[in-house]
Amino acid sequence: MDQRPGLPDPSFLKMPLRDVARGLKGAADLTQDAMAPVMATLPAPLQSALSDALNAIKLQGKSVLTLTVQTPEIEAAAQFIAGGSNDAATCAKVIAFAWDRLNLGDLASETVLASHLAQTKAESASPEMHAASVLLAMADSNAFGKLPGVLGHEGEAGRAQILAALVAPTIWLLAEREETLKDDLHLLDLAGALTKAFQSDVRAALAEEDKLGPLLKMLAQHL
C-alpha cells in the first residue's frame, strides 16, 4: 500500500506511543493556558467548541498514558536502581509508570529518561548510594516537566521539586519485593504516603546530598 509522502512508517518510530501521548497532552494543556485570555473574548458557542476540542486531545493522551507494568519489569528496574543491572529502558518505563500512578508532577518521558540513564555512570559500594546517584541523575535528565525534553524543570527550585517527587519511586524499587504484582503496586502507593510523612527529612537530605543514600535506605526499610 502506498504511503502519503511526509508520513513516517510507524515501525520506524523509536518513541513509545505513551511518550507521544504525554507530549500531546502537555501541548493541549499549554495551548489551553495560552488561549485562555483570547477565549474569554470569543462568543460562548466558539469557546465551548474550542474547549471541547482541547479536552478531547487531553483525554486521548490520558487513555494511552494508562499503562501497566509487569513483575519482571519491576524486578529489572529494582536491580538497575540498586546497581545490579544495565537495563535503563525498563527502569525508565517503571519510573514513568510510578510517576503517573502517584501523580507526582506534570509529565514524564520514559524515552528521555532512558536515554539519560543509559549514559549515567553510577558506581557505588552500596545499593542505597547507587540509588542516590540514579535519583540525582534522573532529576538532571530533563525528562520531567510540561513538555519533557523541551521544557524541563526550571532552575534549582524545579530540580529540588522533581528530586523530592522521585524519592517515592526510588524507595519503592529499593524495598523488598512483594509476592504479587497487586501487592507490589500497593507498596508503591505506600511509598508515596511514606515520603509525604517524612517530607521534612527528605528536604533536609536533598539539601545535603551525601545524606541522601542513608535516607533512601531508611525509608525503604520502613516499607
Confidence of residue 86 (pLDDT cuts 50, 70, 90): confident
pLDDT of 64 reads 44
The pLDDT assigned to 40 comes to 59
Q: Do 56 and 78 belong to one domain?
A: no
Q: Are residues 46 and 88 in the same domain?
A: no
- Per-residue pLDDT tens digits for 10-55: 343 344 444 554 555 555 554 555 556 655 565 666 556 556 655 6
What pLDDT does 26 receive?
A: 54
The per-residue pLDDT for 15 is 47
Residues 102 and 150 in one domain: yes
Residues 34 and 90 in one domain: no
For residues 174 and 81, give the distance between their C-alpha atoms in angstroms, rounded to a whole number. Answer: 7
At 174, is the pLDDT very low, low, confident or very high (cuts 50, 70, 90)?
very high
Neighbour tally for 3: CB within 10 Å: 8
One domain, residues 84 and 33: no
Q: Please tell me which residue, 199 or 61, carries the higher pLDDT value.
A: 199
Give domain status of residue 9, yes or no. no
Q: What angle do CA 87, 92, 93 make, to 5 degrees?
A: 105
Is 83 in the same domain as 182? Answer: yes
Mean pLDDT of the chain: 76
pTM to 2 decimal places: 0.70
Answer for the pair 78, 177: CB distance below 8 angstroms, yes or no.
yes
Q: Is residue 24 part of a domain?
A: yes
Print the domain residue range for 150.
Answer: 71-222
**Residues 100 and 187 reside in one and the same domain:** yes
4 is a domain residue: no
Residues 79 and 126 in one domain: yes
Q: Is 10 inside a domain boundary?
A: no
- Burial grade of 10 (CB within 10 A; 0-12, 13-18, 19 or more): exposed
Same domain, 57 and 113: no
Residue 7: inside a domain: no
Strand partners, 107: 145
- 54 domain residue, yes or no: yes
Percentage above 90 pLDDT, the chain: 29
Burial (CB < 10 A; 0-12, 13-18, 19+), residue 57, is middle
Is residue 94's pLDDT more than 90?
A: yes
* pLDDT at res. 222: 86
Residue 115: pLDDT above 80?
Answer: yes
Report the 3 state secondary structure along 14-69: CCCHHHHHHHHHHHHHHHHHHHHHHHCCCCHHHHHHHHHHHHHHHHHHHHHHCCCC
pLDDT of res. 128: 93
Q: Indicate if 60 and 81 belong to the same structural domain.
A: no
Q: Has residue 2 been placed in a domain?
A: no
The amino acid occupying position 183 is: D
DSSP 148: T
Question: DSSP character for 108?
Answer: E
Total domains, the chain? 2
Domain identity same for 32 and 94: no
Q: Do 46 and 155 share a domain, yes or no?
A: no
